[in-house]
Structure 1
Amino acid sequence: MTNLTTEKCSACHDGAPRATEEEIAELKPHIPDWNIVEEEGEQRLQRSYNFPDFKTALAFTNSIGDAAEEVGHHPALLTEWGKVTVTWWTHAISGLHRNDFIMASRTDDIVSKFTQKN
């Protein structure tokens, strides 16, 4: 299995192809704790992370925001007391792209480093 965390996100534009069912089946095992949900008729990747307090949850949210800015690919982030829900999908194509799986993997990597520090 390749490590999605080390892959680069590719530029995605209107009309770019969505991930096929075969691609999703190949990529999903790399991020086993993520769920594929449907919202507003679009497939999205979603996962919630638990933290001991709001301050830690907010710091994690900011770390995800920094990673998103680096690649120009932005998730929906819901930060609550002790919990952050992250949702990745590609707005330009109203669905899933390989970039979403890459960023989900990076999110898991960030939380793993984050929890080691605290």
Structure 2
Amino acid sequence: MATQQELAGKSCEPCRGGIPPMDRAMAETYLVQVPGWSIRPDPDRLERDYRFSNFREAQHFAMRVGDLCEAEGHHAEILYGWGHCTVTFWTHKIKGLHENDFIMAAKVEGLMDEPYAPVSESMGDVSPTARHR
């Protein structure tokens, strides 16, 4: 079984559907490679809630997750608010889990190792006063 770093080093393969989702026993063997994540039912999906000290950090993380998903072509459900960001993966075409979901979870874990950079530094000043020029 691959380690978290090995999973993170993989790229998502396009899933065209027509295959069964990963069974729960197999999913649980992958789950140990992405500590902190859990499997939620109906459909089986991989989920983790991350905690932050404020809204801005949670928003910044959500945006980085979104950019990663777009780059990999495997998209998450992302819910964030003050001090938290919940990331959920499942493969919609097969209505369940695929190795790609675990690859993405491992990649998201890597984002937590990157330092926080305020939006004004990473994307230009987006404050309300900056818009009134």
TM-score where L is the length of structure 1? 0.89
DSSP 3-state at the match of 1:33: coil
**Alignment partner, residue 22 of structure 2:** 19
Which is strand-richer, 1 or 2?
Answer: 1
Q: Render the CA deviation track for 1:42-82: whole Å, top value 9, x for unaligned.
A: 00001000111111110100000000001111110001101
Match 1:29 to one of 28, 32, 53: 32
In the TM superposition, residue 16 of structure 1 has moved relative to its aligned partner by 2.6
**Alignment partner, residue 105 of structure 2:** 104
Which is helix-richer, 1 or 2?
Answer: 1
Where structure 2 has 5 or more consecutive residues not aligned to the other structure, the ranges are 119-133
Q: Render the CA deviation track for 1:59-112: whole Å, top value 9, x for unaligned.
A: 100000000001111110001101000001001111000000000011111112
Contact 1:60/1:114, CA 8 A, preserved across alignment? no
| Structure 1 residue 10 corresponds to structure 2 residue 13 | yes
Moved over 6 A (4+): none
Per chain length, whose mean CA-contact separation is higher, i.e. which structure has more relative contact order (CA < 8 Å, sep 6+)? 1
Let me know the Cα RMSD of the aligned residues: 1.7
What number of residue pairs does the alignment pair up?
A: 115
DSSP 3-state at the match of 2:12: coil
DSSP 3-state at the match of 2:50: strand
In the TM superposition, residue 8 of structure 1 has moved relative to its aligned partner by 1.3
Specify the structure having the higher radius of gyration (Cα): 2
